Chain A
């Protein structure tokens, strides 16, 4: 991760650390900066959103909005560590979207109990389907429980950060984490022998 002066003449794709490269691009050429930023981090942003909102079209759409906001704020980014900033923006975008949906009265979580039973008690499972089943089990968690579990397990956020994001106490986050693990332990027991 060293910045070698001799590498800089090779252009932007040298061994400069990613963030410094993006920062210098931002000063030199906004458009090139945006393209580099987008192409480096769009998958990360998109996947972070997708884990919370398991619909790729919506995830891509919201990821686009994250980058639109970045572009509109491009003159205020000179102190930013982009990867963390984008990751946070992605999580916020997804959580806002879930909140808005909830206020409108519909979320993908509101499956009927019958559907849930079918999914969680389906009999034999092939190894290939394991990951799918784990995803489904996580998706079946109660809404807040699911959000907290995903933020902790996959978005590498501390309980304190999660508590701040969701405006909950750390205690609640800890309780919900254990609730999530207990529920998953039951619905995934066939994989936990």
Chain B
């Protein structure tokens, strides 16, 4: 008498089609021995056949939209990255990091009476939210959340720029609303930046987030590490190539320039120190510059650049500097 386990194995093999003639013979005689055996076999075969239809009507992915998203990366000369590690600091953070620069912000507060508003006017500040998440606010930035934060939602409204170290809670996703954008965190750490009159920009360093505009989750772009997306007013988010290594300079207290044109160097310094440059000779802007500043002071940076790039830098008025030959 054959054991049931052995018969099951024979049925599994028969379904796969990899059954030997000898095994087929065993199965046949077992089937003929009892109508109940035949019924058992047929019910499993019927189940196998029935299951075939399970995915016959599955949703069709939008190939054109996906190709658009994919092909935007193809123009980049560097290999595409699935995971990017920009610095040892981030490796320790080991989570999702996002930057969003938002345009035309409307800062609406749902429960005005219960809301909490955190601000960082002149300096950078660190806060711990009720759910244990940490927020590092850059200067001139503001974060608000209502009284129910942590109970049935973890939604915050951001104006400006912030780094989030989000406490894990799979049942209650952490959502940042900035401008027209919504960033749903699928990982645990990220940064959001929001400046008026600029598209919302999202930069994922590690981990994964869902980035959406007006259409909400239906139009969401799920971005993994090393990828960047922007959201222009009245459009859907799209992926772009971010070549700015200084997108997290404010958080890392580090400016890094590797053979980049001076105009890129200067705009990173403008953003970092909140100053402006006036350049009298535009040809200067294409000089290439290489250098790294850790925890930089403005006077030091200007001094080093004027010497290495052989330009003169003079203070025109408060926070405005003129660059000339």
Q: Verify A192–B67 contact, CB threshold 8 A.
A: no
Q: Verify A68–B82 contact, CB threshold 8 A.
A: yes
* A3 touches B (CB below 8 Å): no
Q: Verify B53–A174 contact, CB threshold 8 A.
A: no
Residues on the A chain within 8 Å of B308, using CB = none
Q: Verify B8–A175 contact, CB threshold 8 A.
A: yes
Residues on the A chain within 8 Å of B44, using CB = 178, 181-182, 185
Residues on the A chain within 8 Å of B297, using CB = none
* B251 touches A (CB below 8 Å): no
- Chain A's interface: helix, strand, loop or mixed, by majority? helix
* B295 touches A (CB below 8 Å): no
| B 16-53 binary contact with A (CB < 8 Å = 1; else 0) | 10100000000000000000000000011011101111
* B224 touches A (CB below 8 Å): yes
Q: Verify B12–A174 contact, CB threshold 8 A.
A: yes
Residues on the B chain within 8 Å of A61, using CB = 208, 222-224
* A15 touches B (CB below 8 Å): no
Q: Verify B61–A184 contact, CB threshold 8 A.
A: no
* B276 touches A (CB below 8 Å): no
A109→B53 CA distance, assembly (Å): 21
* A25 touches B (CB below 8 Å): no
- Which of B71-79, B85-93, B147-155, B195-203 lines the interface with chain A? B71-79
Q: Which of B18, B51, B73, B79 is A184 in contact with, Cβ under 8 Å?
A: B51
A72, A178, A185 interface centre (most CB from chain B within 10 Å): A178
Q: Verify A174–B82 contact, CB threshold 8 A.
A: no
A38→B74 CA distance, assembly (Å): 12
Q: Verify B46–A192 contact, CB threshold 8 A.
A: yes
Contacts A39-B67, A57-B222; A188 near B170 (Cβ below 8 A)? no
Q: Which of B9, B43, B222 is A58 in contact with, Cβ under 8 Å?
A: B222
Q: Verify B67–A35 contact, CB threshold 8 A.
A: yes
A106→B80 CA distance, assembly (Å): 28
* B60 touches A (CB below 8 Å): yes
* B15 touches A (CB below 8 Å): yes
Residues on the A chain within 8 Å of B214, using CB = none
Q: Which of B56, B59, B69, B79 is A131 in contact with, Cβ under 8 Å?
A: B56
* B54 touches A (CB below 8 Å): yes
* B63 touches A (CB below 8 Å): yes
Q: Verify A71–B55 contact, CB threshold 8 A.
A: no
Q: Verify A47–B12 contact, CB threshold 8 A.
A: no
* B57 touches A (CB below 8 Å): yes
* B13 touches A (CB below 8 Å): yes
* Count of inter-chain pairs, beta carbons less than 8 A: 126
Contacts A56-B61, A63-B61; A174 near B9 (Cβ below 8 A)? yes
Residue of A nearest to B11 (CB): A178
* A60 touches B (CB below 8 Å): yes
* B220 touches A (CB below 8 Å): yes
Shortest beta-carbon distance from B145 to chain A in Å:
24
| A 152-193 binary contact with B (CB < 8 Å = 1; else 0) | 111000110000000000010011011001101100100110
Q: Verify A138–B51 contact, CB threshold 8 A.
A: yes
* A69 touches B (CB below 8 Å): yes
Q: Verify B222–A134 contact, CB threshold 8 A.
A: no
Q: Verify B222–A60 contact, CB threshold 8 A.
A: yes
| A 53-70 binary contact with B (CB < 8 Å = 1; else 0) | 000111111011101110
Shortest beta-carbon distance from A155 to chain B in Å:
11
* A82 touches B (CB below 8 Å): no
Shortest beta-carbon distance from B134 to chain A in Å:
20
Residues on the B chain within 8 Å of A60, using CB = 61, 66, 222
Q: Verify B222–A154 contact, CB threshold 8 A.
A: no
Residue of A nearest to B67 (CB): A38
A residues in contact (CB < 8 Å) with B = 31, 34-35, 38-39, 42-43, 46-47, 50-51, 56-61, 63-65, 67-69, 71-72, 105-106, 130-131, 134-135, 138, 149, 152-154, 158-159, 171, 174-175, 177-178, 181-182, 184-185, 188, 191-192
List 19 A-B pairs, Cβ < 8 Å: A31-B74, A35-B71, A38-B63, A38-B67, A42-B63, A47-B61, A50-B58, A63-B61, A67-B70, A131-B53, A135-B54, A149-B51, A153-B52, A158-B16, A159-B16, A178-B44, A185-B43, A185-B46, A192-B46
Top 3 A-B residue pairs of the complex, sorted by shortest distance between their CB atoms: A61-B222, A134-B54, A46-B61
B residues in contact (CB < 8 Å) with A = 5, 8-9, 11-13, 15-16, 18, 43-44, 46-48, 50-61, 63, 66-67, 69-71, 73-74, 79-80, 82, 170, 208, 210, 217, 220, 222-224
Given A39-B63, A46-B66: 9 more A-B contacts, CB < 8 Å: A42-B66, A47-B58, A47-B61, A60-B66, A65-B82, A149-B51, A158-B18, A159-B12, A181-B48
